[in-house]
Amino acid sequence: MTVINVNESNFKEFVIDSKVPVLVDFWAAWCGPCRAVSPVLEEYAADHEGQLIVAKLNVDENPNIAGAYRITSIPAIKLFKDGSVVTELIGARPKAQIEKDLAAYID
């Protein structure tokens, strides 16, 4: 599965109402660490196809959602299950660390 882009008009449909866990990458185009973690999350999405969805939300273009989830530092990666945040990762990190940090939440 490829990474999907979400925004204020489809966030509820693709994230909150999702039947599978959704890993949301809160990012911005000007953020170097965000650009660094993007290919890592694409690999993670491919490795876990069918187990979860990976979505990207541009905080500059979607300030209401960024504010609602108290995004103050990016990249911020939040895992949603059944419409609620179950864990979050702040900052760029290698794939092995993401795997370790999320292992308890992904079936």
Q: Catalytic: which of 6, 15, 34, 92?
A: 34
64 is catalytic: no
Environment class of 18 (CB within 10 Å of its CB; exposed 0-12, middle 13-18, buried 19+)? middle
Percentage helix, strand, coil for the chain under 3-state DSSP, each rounded to 5: 35, 25, 40
Q: Are 8 and 62 in contact (CB under 8 A)?
A: yes
34 is catalytic: yes
Q: Catalytic: which of 31, 71, 74, 102?
A: 31
What are the catalytic residues? Answer: 31, 34
